[in-house]
Amino acid sequence: MTTTPKRLARVWRQMPFFVWLVALWMLLWGQFTLVAFLTGVAAAIFVTRVFRLPPVELSGRINAWYGLIFVLTFAVEVVRGSIVVALQVFDFRRQPGAAIIAVPLVIDDDLIMTHTAVTASLVPGSLLVDVDRDRRILYVHVVGVDTIADIDAQRRHVQLWERRIVRAVGSRKQVEQMRTHTAAAPGGSV
């Protein structure tokens, strides 16, 4: 039998995911009303009770400054990506190039990899198509690439999302690992 403190600790660890499910529900319906919130809570309870996933351990570290930078940068990139893709669609003179690129990641953490994959997919013009978990590689379909330099720029862009996410919510060990890797990379900066 689980004691009350252990049960409360388990609920507390799962709370960010529960809140995320409610927010996702409201975003999917495009409504921020009391009814959408309550149905989101019901859906989140159903999902968390029926589909029992192993608990994901969070780092317990949130850097509000880098989190704000991440959110603002993400918002700008979504708008910029939307404009770029729209311009590519309406430019009848040429077809935008497309490619599937392999993006190696630095941090060996499922949560960081998931956040990076979702972020890359939500920016218009790129979409995650596969993940090689063992080798920490994301395969991303990108639109608007014509040269090897464009492909390298897209790869660096996804890796930049990983760095931003690690700075915002990664553990101190992950931040140090990213700093060491970035400093060792040619032309790298944290």
Lowest mean pLDDT of 55-64, 91-100, 161-170, name the range: 55-64
Segment 111-114 long-range contacts (CB within 8 Å, at least 24 positions apart): 111/56, 111/58, 112/162, 112/165, 112/166, 112/169, 112/170, 112/174, 113/138
With a pLDDT cut of 70, the percent of the chain lying above it is: 91
pLDDT over 80 at 147, yes or no: yes
154: Cβ contacts below 8 Å, ≥ 6 apart: 99, 101, 126, 140, 142, 145
Domains of the chain by residue range: 4-50, 64-184
Specify burial of residue 179 (Cβ count, 10 A radius: 0-12, 13-18, 19+). Answer: middle
Distances in Å between the Cα of 142 and the Cα atoms of 38, 119, 135 are 37, 13, 21
**CA–CA dist 173, 157 (Å, integer):** 23
**CA–CA dist 190, 175 (Å, integer):** 10
Q: What is the pTM of this model?
A: 0.71
64: Cβ contacts below 8 Å, ≥ 6 apart: none
Average pLDDT value for residue range 5-34: 82
Beta strands 137-143; 126-132: pairing state: antiparallel
pLDDT tens column, 29-55: 888 899 999 999 999 988 888 877 666
